[in-house]
Chains A and B, each alone.
Chain A
Amino acid sequence: MTASTATPAPEVTPLLEVRSVSKFFGSVIALKDISAVVDGGQVTCVLGDNGAGKSTFIKILSGVHQHDEGEFLIEGSPVRFSSPREAKLSGIATVFQDLATVPLMSIWRNFFMGSEPTKGWGPFRRFDIDFAKQTVREEMAKMGIDVRDPDQPVGTLSGGERQSMAIARAVYFGAKVLILDEPTSALGVKQSGVVLKYIVQARERGVGVIFITHNPHHAFPVGDRYVLLNRGRMFGTYEKGEIDRDEIIQAMAGGAELAQLTHELERVMAETETASDR
């Protein structure tokens, strides 16, 4: 008995693992039998079309919802979070779409909001502003962003920069698992590229990244593993190299449906072409 527990499994325990997790809202089956593994230093992409269950899935991981069936393990031990705060304490940081930043506040004030470093004692305990500004500059530099002026209000940053600040903040405060909820959905092509770069940078720093997106073109270049969801169920898990971009697109849209759509599009286009030829 003792021998068997002392002997570690041949492969390393994954940072985060879910086994056959399900979630029901009344009679609605939001998620059914979802299994996934997230390792440190890897990007796990969760892909799916609207209504596939991506949001429910990450809300379970980030502690907003609790799973009804299955197991949720962190470093091998089962957990059940009752709030996002609890998840955060276990090292799971979620960058939600609204980013949790205050536009009128400066970058350094935002970066440390809720976890302000202090110096001094008693009534003279104060916010260590020099340290805050210095750290913001350093951490943003690690993400490849040159913060010219930490006093700049966050509202004046571009969407991509703000996204990156939220990522840098999560990484700085010791996130082992970083969940990014559609970080590129509201961004232009160029800025999406910037954010993808930071995702890679966070991965290089050993963070297990969970990247939720409905855009396979964003997921494909950065992902090490792809979890495809369709209508609340697992469509499949693929390692990098096992699947190509077109297959992902096919799988996401439910294969046959997309083929049907392509066919119809071709027909419409052919019709307009013949119409313009006349």
Chain B
Amino acid sequence: MAEPLTEARAEPAPDPPAGQDERLGRVSPLTRLLRRPELGALLGAIAVFVIFTIADQSGQFADVAGAARWLDVASTIGIPSVAVALLMIGGEFDLSAGVMTASAGILLGLLTVEWGWNMWPALAVVIVFAAAIGFMNGYLVVRTKLPSFIVTLATFFVLRGTNVGFTKQITGQVRVADIDEAGGYESVRKIFGSEIGTAPENFNIRIFWWIALVIVATWVLTRTRVGNWIFGVGGDQIAARNVGVPVTRTKIGLFMATSIACALAGVMTAVQLTSVQADQGVGEEFNFIVAAVVGGCLLTGGYGSAIGAALGALIIGMAFIGIAFAGWNTDWRYLFLGVILFLAVLVNTFVRRQAEGARR
């Protein structure tokens, strides 16, 4: 009885259908789905949407006007958090990200309002400044081999102090205002601060910037060499270096991209509000990190996605607006954020174990 059985097993497998590998069929679609880092965030986003649609008192949360509101908040957090997600996948943190948004706005304001620059060259200087701060963060982390947590915490305090100090020294106030009086403001506003659609169904242009950035980041991460390097340096820096990945360049580039993304977000806010508070942005870095973590980025690096971070930002945006629309006290939103973060980490850890454990 045993003999014919073994013979049957020894027989070669039937030829696969042309152009298709028969072995791929063995991975169940569920495992494939569970292996996506953004799955938890997607389910979370749906859950949060349903919760706040039910709790909604204004009758606006689930319609176009409501979407314009929560997408606006989501994009403010989302633009930096896309870059922060890439940085975290690359195995590093940036605690100076939140304050960087304010620094960018203040620098833009000082250049244009106090020194009478045109908006466009001022914008270029802001981007160069952000790139330099990012380079310094990255260079110090790579050079000193200190945890990026410590290095960027130092940058956070330096920027925070500089923001307030400089602003007070130069303007005599703790804010820079009247940015709309600068030359070139209208053309800059068209690109960075205009709105599409008529109120209340008006969508800030920032939302489209955000979507474009998510697409670019996803492409870089999953389809290019640099993307492979980012996963490599975050997953195992020494292994990556041993096989020839330019670790230093990759990490510094990620820090620079993060600072530039933050500066972009800061400029957009400054252009929209026409003024910047000197102490703005403090604590925002945690929103960026929470969005990335909710989106499936591992705190230890080497795993995550830009789309996940976008979904994480979307959850935060819906929660912040949803709480207001539900008529609850907005003080509750940080409690909500904490609970969401904890649940997301639990779900993501569980999902990842499932995805890996399902394979033998």
Chain A contacts to B: CB under 8 angstroms: 84-85, 88, 96, 98-105, 109, 112-116, 118, 125-127, 129, 137, 146-149, 151-153, 155-156
Segment 172-196 of B: residues with Cβ below 8 Å from A:
none
Contacts of B223 in A (CB 8 A): 126-127, 129
Cβ–Cβ contact B227 & A105, under 8 A = no
Contact flag A156-B356 (CB < 8 Å), given A109-B231, A115-B244: yes
Ordered by A's residue number, 13 sampled pairs between the chains whose C-beta atoms are within 8 Å are A102-B231, A103-B236, A105-B231, A105-B235, A105-B302, A113-B228, A113-B240, A115-B244, A127-B224, A149-B26, A149-B27, A151-B35, A156-B360
Cβ–Cβ contact A85 & B235, under 8 A = no
- How many angstroms from the CA of A96 to the CA of B227 in the assembled complex? 25
Contacts of B26 in A (CB 8 A): 148-149
- How many angstroms from the CA of A104 to the CA of B359 in the assembled complex? 13
Chain B contacts to A: CB under 8 angstroms: 21, 23-24, 26-27, 32, 35, 219, 223-225, 227-229, 231-232, 235-236, 238-240, 242-245, 298, 302-303, 356, 359-360
- How many angstroms from the CA of A104 to the CA of B37 in the assembled complex? 12
- Which of A101, A125, A149 interacts with B23 by CB under 8 Å? A149
- Which of B24, B224, B235, B240 interacts with A149 by CB under 8 Å? B24
- What's the minimum C-beta distance from B56 to chain A, rounded to whole angstroms? 39
- Which of B224, B232, B242, B360 interacts with A96 by CB under 8 Å? B242
- How many angstroms from the CA of A109 to the CA of B23 in the assembled complex? 19
Q: Binding site of A, secondary structure by majority: helix, strand, loop or mixed?
A: loop
Contact flag A116-B303 (CB < 8 Å), given A100-B239, A155-B356: no
Contacts of B23 in A (CB 8 A): 146-149
Cβ–Cβ contact B27 & A115, under 8 A = no
- How many angstroms from the CA of A101 to the CA of B239 in the assembled complex? 6
- How many angstroms from the CA of A146 to the CA of B227 in the assembled complex? 27
Q: Which chain B residue has the least Cβ–Cβ distance from A96? A: B242
Contacts of A88 in B (CB 8 A): 244
Cβ–Cβ contact A113 & B232, under 8 A = yes
Cβ–Cβ contact A102 & B235, under 8 A = yes
- How many angstroms from the CA of A101 to the CA of B23 in the assembled complex? 24
Contacts of A112 in B (CB 8 A): 228
- What's the minimum C-beta distance from A135 to chain B, rounded to whole angstroms? 14
- What's the minimum C-beta distance from A38 to chain B, rounded to whole angstroms? 22
Contacts of B231 in A (CB 8 A): 102, 104-105, 109
- What's the minimum C-beta distance from A175 to chain B, rounded to whole angstroms? 13
Q: Which chain A residue has the least Cβ–Cβ distance from B27? A: A149
Q: Which chain A residue has the least Cβ–Cβ distance from B232? A: A113
Contacts of A101 in B (CB 8 A): 236, 239
- What's the minimum C-beta distance from A176 to chain B, rounded to whole angstroms? 18
Cβ–Cβ contact A99 & B239, under 8 A = yes
Supply 7 further A-B pairs (C-beta < 8 A) apart from A149-B23, A149-B26, A156-B356. A85-B244, A96-B242, A105-B232, A113-B243, A126-B219, A137-B21, A152-B27
Cβ–Cβ contact A98 & B356, under 8 A = no
Contacts of B359 in A (CB 8 A): 152-153, 156
- How many angstroms from the CA of A109 to the CA of B235 in the assembled complex? 12
Contacts of A155 in B (CB 8 A): 356
- What's the minimum C-beta distance from B332 to chain A, rounded to whole angstroms? 36
Contacts of B227 in A (CB 8 A): 127
Cβ–Cβ contact A114 & B235, under 8 A = no
- How many angstroms from the CA of A267 to the CA of B239 in the assembled complex? 48
Cβ–Cβ contact B303 & A104, under 8 A = yes
- How many angstroms from the CA of A149 to the CA of B23 in the assembled complex? 7
- What's the minimum C-beta distance from A90 to chain B, rounded to whole angstroms? 14
Contact flag A125-B224 (CB < 8 Å), given A114-B232, A146-B23: yes
Contact flag A114-B244 (CB < 8 Å), given A102-B231, A104-B235: yes
- How many angstroms from the CA of A155 to the CA of B356 in the assembled complex? 8
Contacts of A96 in B (CB 8 A): 242
- Which of B224, B225, B243, B356 interacts with A100 by CB under 8 Å? B243
Contacts of A85 in B (CB 8 A): 244
- What's the minimum C-beta distance from A151 to chain B, rounded to whole angstroms? 7
- What's the minimum C-beta distance from A104 to chain B, rounded to whole angstroms? 5
Contacts of A99 in B (CB 8 A): 239
Cβ–Cβ contact B24 & A114, under 8 A = no
Contact flag A104-B302 (CB < 8 Å), given A98-B239, A113-B243: yes
Cβ–Cβ contact A102 & B240, under 8 A = yes
- How many angstroms from the CA of A155 to the CA of B35 in the assembled complex? 13
Contacts of A127 in B (CB 8 A): 223-225, 227-228
Q: Which chain B residue has the least Cβ–Cβ distance from A129? A: B223
- How many angstroms from the CA of A146 to the CA of B26 in the assembled complex? 12
Contacts of A116 in B (CB 8 A): 225, 228
